Amino acid sequence: MTILVTNDDGYFATGIAALVEVAQKFGNVIVVSPDKPQSGMGHAITVNQPIMIEEIKNFGKIPAYKISGTPVDCVKLARDKILHTAPDLCLSGINHGNNNSINVIYSGTMSAAVEASIEDIPAIGFSLLDYSPDADFSAAQQVVEQVIEKYLKQGLLHKYLLNVNIPKLSFEKIKGHKVCRQAKSKWVEEYLERETPSGKKYYWLTGQFQNLDKGTDTDVYALENGYVSIVPVQYDLTAHHQLTDLSEVFE
């Protein structure tokens, strides 16, 4: 099988190298990854400028390309201009930092996986709860291998799009997997305000994560308790439960 590996941290990130190493055990890997960090790019696509594709040698004999675009662009271009067909599986990550709860919506890693799913390509996004550029991915690699193995052997392809988050623990200390829902949460922003040498103000995004969800069936809860969180993802944003009531107002 052909496995497309992408991410949002860029082709040079430790996390994508770790993912490629595991992915190779399951098929023919091709890497198509952004040429610069694309964290927080969500489901952005490049529409107002052209995109460059460049072959790279960072993954030894594995065919690999860097793209001057977003994670979603990587999936689209991989299919249309590099593979010229859909891959059998798309793996995104391993992200440096978590993509659980509300973070899924800002995440380039997960948006690449979502884009694959929109295009009928089975997909899994992996994230490790460690933002460090030189994070240790060895335990995460074992988790990734377990998850891919189950995904393939249990016939989950084309059925499930998965968001997998891995706690920052040794493999022995990880308690297992929890299938869970996305916790209701938000970021409370506090932009840093600074001045340029010429006195013009500028702002850096920072913020505090707020978990608004006391449920024990959420990804935040699972991760806090030492489990790998596995959330099945969908991309229909319709609030189906509101359709009837809202119809009464507008029709």
Using CB under 8 A as the binding rule, the residues of this chain from 145 to 164 that contact its own copies are 147, 150, 154, 156, 159-161, 163
From the list 133, 225, 226, 235, which residue makes contact with its own copies (rule: CB under 8 A)? 235
Closest distance of CB 24 from its own copies, Å: 23
Rounded to the nearest 10 degrees, the angle between the axes of helix 138-153 and helix 14-23 is: 40
* Cis-peptide, bond into residue 124, ω within 30° of zero: no
What burial class does residue 65 get, using C-beta atoms within 10 Å of its C-beta: 0-12 exposed, 13-18 middle, 19+ buried? buried
CB 218 within 8 Å of CB 180: yes
Out of 17, 105, 157, 169, which residue is the one contacting its own copies (CB under 8 A)?
105
Q: Looking at 25, 158, 173, 186, which residue binds its own copies (CB under 8 A)? A: 186
**52 beta partners:** none
Q: How far is the CB of 60 from its own copies (least distance, A)?
A: 24
For residue 107, give Cα distances in angstroms to 39, 119, 176.
6, 18, 24
Any contact of residue 98 with its own copies (CB under 8 A)? Answer: no
* Shortest Å, Cβ 67 to its own copies: 9
Nearest to 30 by CA among 77, 72, 68, 99: 77
Instruction: Give the interface size with its own copies as a residue count (CB under 8 A).
Output: 77
Find the binder of its own copies among 90, 102, 135, 144 (CB under 8 A): 102
Q: Which residues, at least 6 apart from 245, have a Cβ–Cβ distance to it below 8 Å?
A: none
Residues 8-27 interacting with its own copies (rule: CB under 8 A):
none
Residue from 179, 209, 211, 224 that binds its own copies (CB under 8 A)? 179
Residue 134: CB minimum distance to its own copies, A: 18
Among 131, 132, 205, 225, binds its own copies (CB under 8 A): 205
DSSP 80: I
Among residues 1, 171, 203, 226, which is the contact residue for its own copies, using CB under 8 A?
Answer: 203
Give the whole-angstrom CA distance, residue 227 versus residue 95. 17
Q: Is 111 in the site for its own copies (CB under 8 A)?
A: yes
Query: Interface residues for its own copies in 29-58 (CB under 8 A)?
Result: 37, 39-48, 50-53
CA distance to 21, 81, 83, 187, per residue, from 86 (Å): 21, 11, 7, 36
Choice between 82 and 139, CB closer to its own copies: 82
From the list 122, 102, 106, 97, the residue with the least C-alpha distance to 70 is: 106
- Residue closer to its own copies by CB (options 136, 233) is 233
* 173 touching its own copies, by CB under 8 A: no
Task: Examine residue 184 and tell whether it contacts its own copies (CB under 8 A).
Answer: yes
Q: Which backbone phi and psi does 96 adopt, to 5 degrees?
A: -85, 90
Q: Let me know: does 101 contact 219? Beta carbons within 8 Å.
A: yes
